[in-house]
Structure 1
Amino acid sequence: MKHIAISSAFATIAVATFCAAGLGTAPLAQTNDSLMLAHHEWTASGYSVYPEPGRNGSNTKLTKAPAGYKPFYISHYARHGSRFHYSADDYHYLYNTLAKADSAGKLTPLGKSALERTRFLSEHAAPRTGDLTQVGVGQHQGIAKRMAKNFPEVFRGNSGKGKSAPHVDAFASTSGRCIVSMAAFVSELRANVPNVDVRLESGKSLMQGINTFDFKYTKDYAETEAYHKESDKLWKNISFAPTLARIFSDSNYVKKNVNASDFYNKLYEIHGSMQGMDAQFFEGTQPFNFNDLFTPAEELARWKAQNAWWYSVLGSCPLTGEQGVTYGKSILTNILDEADKAVTGASGTAVSGTAANTPVATLRFGHDTGILPLAGLMQLPVANARVTDLSKLHEQWTDFKIIPMAANLQIVFYKAGAGKNAKPVLVKVLYNEVEQELPVPCGYAQAQGAGAKANCPAAPYYRWDDFSAFYRNIAK
């Protein structure tokens, strides 16, 4: 069968340009129509592949820590890597709809090609619904390798006599794709730090620190009149007809036999998911995607509605009372609680090590519905816009920069000196491995009665006392 374009090339273009644009840094402006039309792969929304740093010479230089400071602990949260589409029924629906039309002689030549593609997906992708792909495995392996390379001091273990191996706690959502993401990350970490001791856990009792969101909750806050008024404007710019005309040869047949909205939206989502497919999946056939069924302008119109939906549900959206970000509170609280233990365990020891049973890293593997509200709650630049005119939302807030597959937050802790000579612990935040500027005021801890004010370092470094006090106040 004849197919158009190779998915791996599609993914490579997305990664390279996404990184080169410096999309995780402080400027609030996100994108514009011209840029989106030039890079239509970004319209895959949350299916976008991870923007691996360092591709095509993109700037990933990390700011040097203040004199004398060394990293000793990392608190991490990551979305699972690239996966198959979440619904087997959607794969089957597309194929069955096209097969029925083909039996009636109502497919164009391009429609017949689409039929063969959906047949393959119905047979081979549907049984893998929601599973991590090998692309997803590679994403987490890459992040782990770079973490070990960027912060080697963290993984050197306790210093002195009886030196102990570095201990890492790793927790995953009960979802299989999160567990496999954790396994991929840890396997690569062990390859780079052979003596690392890792505790792996996954269970319902851990979900408070990983993900508490359920889409059934959205009806309680996201279905506002103000949001729907704005969202409806975006949906009016979406036309199903051109794509359907490329596939079906008879418009009357479509009117009588095809739910145009269902077909188009399912096709759009599966189209986006193809970025995460790997060569192994296509074994026995030519790799393919659905680029030939949409124009970039059509993808852009549909994505704007999708982007607005994510914003309303889990973003800092004024039209829904900014309620979505509150689902990051339990995760943020867990991050702060575990960090307190690590800081306490590391106190009074040499800069190069930590107490024997204190983890040098806490790893969490969850979902877009965990990291998206967390990023907004923490007021990270990439996720902190407040927009009421949703036709301009993409100029300030874009889902594919916040929740690409394997999106991750790394909070790196630094210390200097020991005992009476110990200096204040510092932290910096990386989002998708790019340093972030935070809204944490210098001296915030003093204002809250938690400690004496001291000279604060320049961004991206912040005093842990200020960081902790500021975010505990937000997480209440």
Structure 2
Amino acid sequence: MKLLIAPILLTPILLISTLLNYNIAYGNISGSKSSYQYDPQQKLTPTPQNYHPFYIYYIGRHGSRYISKAKPETITSQILEKAHQQNQLTPLGKNLREQLNKIIKLNQNKYGQLTDLGKDDIQHIAQRMLKQYPTIFQQKEIAIISTTSQRTIDSAEAFLKPFRAIYPNAKIIQQPENEQVLLRFFDYSPAYKKYKTSQPIKNAIQTLQEAPLTKKTVQHVIERLFNSSFINQLNNETNLKSVDQVTATEFVIALFKIYQETLSFSNEKLEQNQINLGDLFTFTEKRWLSTVITAKNYLQIGPAFDENGIQIRIAAPLLRDIILSSDNDIYHNQIDANLHFAHAETISPLATLMEIKGTNKTTDFIENYHKYWQAERIIPMAANIQLIFYRNRDNSKPILVKLLLNEREIKLPIQTNHYPYYDWSLFKKFYLTKLDNLGLTPKKNAKDWLIHLN
């Protein structure tokens, strides 16, 4: 297994210099927790003359969800309660405590479930698909597969809602828990599990958490929330009931994660409950804290320091299914669409493996990654990869395919004279060659391949 060594080689002088020149113009403030953004003004390239869309292969992430785990709430609320008991909260700290109690009530018994915004975003994607590609949906059949996670099942159901009039008998098939190699391939590779928790990954994350800009940001945030004597307690680690020790940095990161999660609620829900954690941070602080938190995505499911690393190669079974299933469905002409509902951990490695522009650039220094890889553009909530297939009236003409990432036309490393449309035979050849080089041939068992991958 190839381990990352670049983060260990950072010198303090280089790190400080880079952070002082940090460009606050990068991306969004919520990384992979960003709600789905669609620009209604964007224009798609006209379909080539005499061609029409006839089939679609879709892989989508679940929609915006409630906070997935209670740990950030636990850390933040216990720190705030401890400060409250000691009368050490500033007016802003008291307001945060009230807001956090509301957020905890909103999340109660709903951890990981779709929010109303999440369901709406998924339905809107489906509605646009029906409107933009009417010639695809001929009432034949649609194949729908989801993981066993409730939020992906609910996302599939939300997606199906606009389709029900056309496909009243459509059913969602869930892959069995022990056979989810297509959409949860990351669960089947021992080498990948080892990579995720390897020391170089931990070192890279620690590099950002201990960076001068992080320390400066943390200090500014806690000074807004607590009086000086409690700040001294935080800076010297604070003991909690359910957590052994919490540092000031861990508290601020947990608080910012909760802020990111609140962006999965609709504006109406936030206004109704008078929730606005955005005022706790300056714009620059939001950018940097998002970069610190999202680095874990870049390292574990993005290109990191090796675009052909184990964290990317594990997506090969899904790429193979795109090729083989699409070829089969095109040939038999019995299915209008093949729809899959999964997770960010599914979408990101696949996008990098396919060398989709903007998803596969590596960096030598972890603090620079956001210049090349923006989670909010690649794996926001409801992220999706769509392959739209086009047929010519003249059957002697080649089938064309266009790839969309989050409904935006994307460039692929395949030669074409009519971008963003690619000859399916060339598309197939390019990726089958790549799969062959990875050792995953069409007839090889994907589960066995993942287990022995290194």
> What interval of TM-score do these two structures reach, taking the shorter chain for normalisation?
0.7 to 0.9
Q: Which residue of 2 aligns with 1:51?
A: 37
- Quick one: distance in 2 between partners of 1:200 and 1:228? 38
Matched, 1:72 2:58: no
Contact 2:24 2:284 in 1 (8 A): no
Matched, 1:473 2:433: yes
Q: Which residue of 2 aligns with 1:3?
A: none
- What's the offset of the Cα at 1:84? 0.9
Cα deviation digits, residues 195-243 of structure 1 (max 9, x gap): 5652321232662222222498656235667666655543313122211
Contact 2:70 2:111 in 1 (8 A): yes
Q: Which residue of 2 aligns with 1:177?
A: 151
Unpaired runs of at least 5, structure 2: 1-21, 240-245, 441-454
Unpaired runs of at least 5, structure 1: 1-31, 158-164, 347-357, 442-455
Deviates further, 293-302 or 265-274: 293-302
SS in 2 for 1:77: strand
Q: Which residue of 1 aligns with 2:300?
A: 313
Q: Report the residue type matching 1:208 in the other structure.
A: V
- Superposed, which structure 2 residues align to 1:369-380 within 5 Å? 369-380=345-356
Q: Which residue of 1 aligns with 2:238?
A: 257
Q: Which residue of 1 aligns with 2:386?
A: 410
SS in 1 for 2:56: strand
- Superposed, which structure 2 residues align to 1:42-441 within 5 Å? 42-54=28-40, 58=41, 60-155=42-137, 157=138, 165-190=139-164, 194=166, 197-204=169-176, 207-214=180-187, 220-222=194-196, 231-235=205-209, 236=211, 237-239=213-215, 240-249=218-227, 250=229, 251-254=231-234, 255=236, 257=238, 259=246, 260-278=248-266, 281=269, 285-318=272-305, 322-346=309-333, 358-417=334-393, 421-441=395-415
Q: Which residue of 2 aligns with 1:8?
A: none
Q: Report the residue type matching 2:38 in the other structure.
A: E
Contact 1:316 1:376 in 2 (8 A): yes
- Quick one: distance in 2 between partners of 1:112 and 1:67? 63
Q: Report sequence identity in percent.
A: 29
- Quick one: distance in 1 between partners of 2:353 and 2:121? 25
SS in 2 for 1:50: coil
Contact 1:222 1:320 in 2 (8 A): no
Cα deviation digits, residues 289-338 of structure 1 (max 9, x gap): 31122222222222222333222211122258622111221211222222
- Quick one: distance in 2 between partners of 1:80 and 1:88? 19
How many residue pairs are counted as aligned between the two chains?
Answer: 399
TM-score, normalising length: structure 1: 0.78
Q: What is the alpha-carbon root mean square deviation over aligned residues?
A: 2.4
Q: Report the residue type matching 1:183 in the other structure.
A: E
Deviates further, 194-203 or 335-344: 194-203
- What's the offset of the Cα at 1:472? 2.1
| Residues 140 and 311 of structure 1, relative CA distance in 2, 3 Å threshold | same
| Residues 337 and 196 of structure 1, relative CA distance in 2, 3 Å threshold | farther
TM-score, normalising length: structure 2: 0.81
- Quick one: distance in 1 between partners of 2:279 and 2:43? 38
Contact 1:66 1:457 in 2 (8 A): no
- Quick one: distance in 1 between partners of 2:70 and 2:192? 24
Q: 1:458 aligns with which of 410, 418, 427?
A: 418
- Quick one: distance in 2 between partners of 1:225 and 1:178? 32
